[in-house]
Amino acid sequence: MKNNKILIYIGILATGLLLGWLLFGDSSQKESEHNHSEISSENQMWTCSMHPQIIQPEAGDCPICGMDLIPAEVGADGLTADQFKLTANAMALANIQTTVVGNGSTQNGIIKLSGKITENEEANAVQVSYFSGRIERLNISFTGDKVRKGQLLATIYSPELYAAQQELITALSLKESQPELYKAVRNKLKLWKLSENQINQIEETQKVKENFPVYATVSGTVTEKLVEQGDYIKQGQPLLKITNLNTVWANFDVYENQIEQFKKGQEVTVITNAYPTKKFSGKVDFINPVLNTKTRTVDLRVVLDNNNAIFKPGMFVTAEVKSTMTDTKEVVIIPSSSILWTGERSVVYIKTNPNEPVFELKEVTLGNKIGDNYQVLNGLFEGNEIVSNGTFTVDAAAQLQGKKSMMNPQGGTTMTGHEGHLGINNQSSHAKNEHENMNKRLKVSDRFQKQLKVVYDDYINLKDALIEEDSKGSMQHATFLLSNLSKVDMKLLKGEAHNKWMSSEKEMKSSTTAIAGSSDIKIQRNHFKYLSSHIINSVQLFGINEKVFVEFCPMADNDNGAYWLSNEEQIRNPYFGDAMLKCGEVKQTIK
């Protein structure tokens, strides 16, 4: 009986629990789902499918392209303060690719140098006049004329030579009685470079010639015409500069940290923009033992065979040289596309999770350039996975999420919506102060700032030419920029300022040389992004006493993103021109 009561009580309790779950469990679950939905809705961020670096707290239009924003993936848990995550959609659209770092050897590495074709000074000759007078006839019309040895170049009327011929005719009658006088007069004419045949002809005819010919003493090409027909000239005055262009010099700049990798007699492969599919071989003929204190480089010279007149003086060329380093120690090498430069700092983005798109900024110390790669002396290890394509886009995403980035090495608060357009200027006060301390404006002289301003103005003109898709104008302004860059007086800088300028100047020169040497606007724009990176850095560090804007287009460079500088806040895109003139945003204002 007692056992029956216990069974009845257990049944009643079970029935009550079942009824309670049926009546209240569903509503509790719904309430939980509702509350979770509210929380998710409150934390939901929105992004653009075309511009995944845009992150906003609410739905709307993309501030760059105007497309409707879509829900963005909520940040993953377990990330450190310096790490950030990209969505799979963002990775695909920006074509972000990674590379696993491996070891490589420098002994088979290729070093690239930029240079210019010049005349072979050993084959230069100056045609001079050996007597004074007036040029009655000049047979060379313009520079570029080819001459051969013995060719008649000009005829000259010389009062001195006229009188000397009369002396010879008089001395000829005294040849037997005063042979020494006769020999002296005859030798005087020889000193004026008259030939034996010419002197004998005067003696035989006993007639004085009014005009005397000037013959070429060498064969070659006239590179400079120094006189005109009718000019009065003095004895020894240069008439023409003649160069034999069967061989030419290719002069290259070698920086201090590269000097040890070159030696005389080393094989060199030369490539020119005029014949991009052809390669020409030569040997290192001379390495200047004196360092240029302004550019911190030495001259390296290669002699090239030019019997087919392929090379023209003034032509830009590139050299590929195998390193002579005998040290076979393995070093870490990474592709140059993975590196972002800001002054002396070089940074890359590491993928910290092999299974998730989680990234983190990493500063590295670089060694020599080997082909399209760089040695890494410190900061990376074999097996690290780094971003090798789309690095600028990853950097933009880091900025917008308030993480460490190239432009903001200390990180800051997440920027959304319109704040993302203002870049660093809209960080929290604390983060902004840290950033300014990290990239503190270096104190330099007004004179140096003025010289940098001239370079900056050339850069702006180059940018405007790219906007107008004027490739010839781009080449011209790049040439001006290169010239003014070489005029910057490095003696005005000391210590840290000198070192930072050296780092940027080297890269600016390389990029500008490539732009000046190509009429293909795609190639020009590709090098312009590298030039812009270092111009931005220099203006930030040294200042030019002018307000400028750092602007960014995420779709440039095949959706990898690229920066540029502008005098105006209005976007005018140099990477697309009229095709996408307004694509971009202001990232920073440099005052």
**Distance separating alpha carbons of residues 164 and 538, to the nearest angstrom:** 68
Judged on CB neighbours under 10 Å (0-12, 13-18, 19+), 452 is buried
Rounded to an integer, the average pLDDT of 537-544 is 88
**Residue with the larger pLDDT of the pair 42 and 183:** 183
**Distance separating alpha carbons of residues 555 and 553, to the nearest angstrom:** 6
Q: Which residues contact 439 (CB under 8 A, 6 or more apart)?
A: 342, 343, 409, 540, 541
Instruction: Read off the amino acid at residue 131.
Output: F
CB 236 within 8 A of CB 128: yes
Fill in the DSSP letter of residue 338: G
What's the pLDDT band for 414 if we cut at 50, 70, 90?
A: very low
Choice among 11-25, 364-378, 528-542 with the minimum mean pLDDT: 11-25
pLDDT at residue 420 is higher than 70: no
pLDDT above 90 covers a percentage of the chain that reads: 11
pLDDT at residue 74 is higher than 80: no
Summary mean pLDDT of the chain:
78
Choice among 87-96, 163-172, 269-278 with the minimum mean pLDDT: 87-96
pLDDT value, residue 177: 79
Q: Which residues contact 300 (CB under 8 A, 6 or more apart)?
A: 113, 115, 251, 252, 253, 254, 262, 284, 286, 287, 288
**Distance separating alpha carbons of residues 404 and 334, to the nearest angstrom:** 21
pLDDT value, residue 107: 41
Angle at 313 between CA 312 and CA 318, to 5 degrees: 80
pLDDT at residue 463 is higher than 80: yes
pLDDT digits (tens, 9 = 90+) for 491-527: 888 877 877 787 788 788 888 988 988 888 888 998 8
170 φ, ψ to 5°? Answer: -70, -45
In 468-494, where does DSSP find H-type helix? Answer: 471-486
pLDDT digits (tens, 9 = 90+) for 336-355: 888 887 666 789 999 988 88
For residue 377, which of 387, 364, 388 has the smallest C-alpha distance? 364
pLDDT value, residue 461: 93
pLDDT value, residue 66: 67
pLDDT at residue 441 is higher than 80: no
pLDDT digits (tens, 9 = 90+) for 328-339: 445 677 888 888
pLDDT at residue 413 is higher than 50: no
pLDDT value, residue 330: 53
pLDDT value, residue 18: 59
Q: Which residues contact 586 (CB under 8 A, 6 or more apart)?
A: 421, 422, 423, 549, 550, 551, 552, 569, 571
pLDDT value, residue 1: 53
Write down all domains in the chain, each with its CATH number in brackets: 2-80 (no CATH), 90-106+328-438 (2.40.420.20), 111-120+245-322 (2.40.30.170), 122-243 (2.40.50.100), 446-590 (no CATH)
pLDDT value, residue 565: 93
Instruction: Read off the amino acid at residue 44.
Output: Q
